[in-house]
């Protein structure tokens, strides 16, 4: 499905203005793309959420919307854009990115537009932790962390890109509102070490649903170490397919569709 089939508009909030693609009917889900940008496999995932009865909002935060993934494109996206832009914090533990304020504003807007019990949000890779930090916005009731890969420093010690205040708010809401956080990764992924999921499990306890896929379940012939659970390396069959099934089911349950 081409992006030309999605409605495009600019959204302003939290000190930033960014383009957002929207499609579908029903309660809202914000799909926050991975490196290198809003590529075709992210769009395909958004389409599957639309087919499952949701209104999908896909912001473009970096890269060229619709451009296919290549190794060179991914490297340029990381080194030439993301690491030096003020809206992202990629190095330090216990600190979320400034763009999360914009995403919270988008969640409020999406909830006001689409209604329902709240909004779902999924971050991927570079943006994987954003969905947890977004929980300071009351509209966000279904956060999914797909291969959360930031911050860079302290990854093997369990660093996360969420501030102590944001974590405290999330923990309080998870208990008070009977919510959970879904986390997805491939075992052995060097960008999402065991310690990061262990930290999330220690912080969120039984409110964190961790899904760790076996590398051999990954979609074959990509020439890359398995990493992108819901997009580039999405398993099309076998036990690994459960990651997407669980994600869509998680959104449907929390958003009142199940």
Among 34, 63, 48, 235, which Cα is nearest to 122's?
34
What value does the mean pLDDT take over residues 220-242? 79
Domain of residue 217: give its range.
Answer: 3-254
pLDDT, tens digit, 9 for 90 and up, residues 117-166: 999 999 999 999 999 999 999 999 999 999 999 998 899 999 999 999 99
Cβ neighbours around 249 below 10 Å, total: 15
Residue 92 has pLDDT above 90, yes or no: no
The pLDDT of residue 13: 97
Q: How far apart are CA 231 and CA 219, in angstroms?
A: 9
Cβ neighbours around 2 below 10 Å, total: 8
What region does 26 belong to: left with phi over 0, alpha with psi -120 to 50, or beta?
Answer: left
Is pTM beyond 0.85? Reply is yes
pLDDT, tens digit, 9 for 90 and up, residues 62-86: 999 999 999 899 888 888 766 657 7
Buried b (16+ CB within 10 A) or exposed e, 123-141: bbbbbbbbbbbbbbbebbb
Confidence category of residue 93, pLDDT binned at 50, 70, 90: confident
Mean pLDDT of the chain: 93
Among 6, 37, 43, 36, which Cα is nearest to 21's?
6
Total residues belonging to the chain: 258
Total number of domains in the chain: 1
Residue 1 has pLDDT above 60, yes or no: no
Bridge partners (DSSP) listed for residue 34: none
CATH number of the domain where residue 248 is located: 3.40.50.1820
């Amino acid at each position: 499905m081409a992006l030309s089939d999605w409605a495009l508009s600019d959204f302003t909030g939290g000190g930033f203005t960014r383009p957002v693609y929207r499609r579908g009917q029903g309660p809202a889900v914000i799909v926050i793309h991975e490196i290198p940008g809003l590529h075709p496999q992210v769009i395909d995932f958004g389409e599957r959420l639309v087919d499952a009865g949701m209104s999908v909002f896909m912001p473009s935060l970096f890269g060229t919307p619709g451009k296919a993934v290549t190794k060179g494109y991914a490297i340029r996206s990381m080194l030439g854009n993301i690491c030096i832009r003020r809206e992202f914090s990629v190095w330090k533990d216990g600190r979320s990115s400034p763009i999360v304020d914009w995403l919270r504003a988008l969640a409020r807007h999406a909830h006001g537009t689409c209604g329902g019990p709240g909004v779902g949000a999924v971050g991927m890779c570079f943006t994987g932790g954003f969905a947890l930090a977004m929980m300071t916005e009351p509209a966000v009731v279904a956060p999914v962390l797909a291969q959360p890969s930031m911050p860079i420093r302290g990854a093997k010690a369990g660093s996360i890109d969420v501030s102590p205040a944001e974590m405290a708010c999330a923990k309080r809401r998870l208990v008070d509102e009977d919510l959970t956080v879904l986390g997805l990764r491939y075992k052995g992924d060097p960008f999402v070490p065991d310690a990061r999921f262990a930290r999330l499990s220690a912080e969120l306890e039984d409110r964190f649903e961790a899904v760790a896929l076996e590398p051999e379940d990954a979609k074959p012939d990509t020439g890359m170490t398995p990493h992108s659970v819901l997009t580039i390396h999405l398993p099309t069959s076998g036990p690994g397919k459960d990651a997407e099934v669980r994600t869509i089911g998680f959104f449907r349950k929390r958003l009142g569709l199940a």
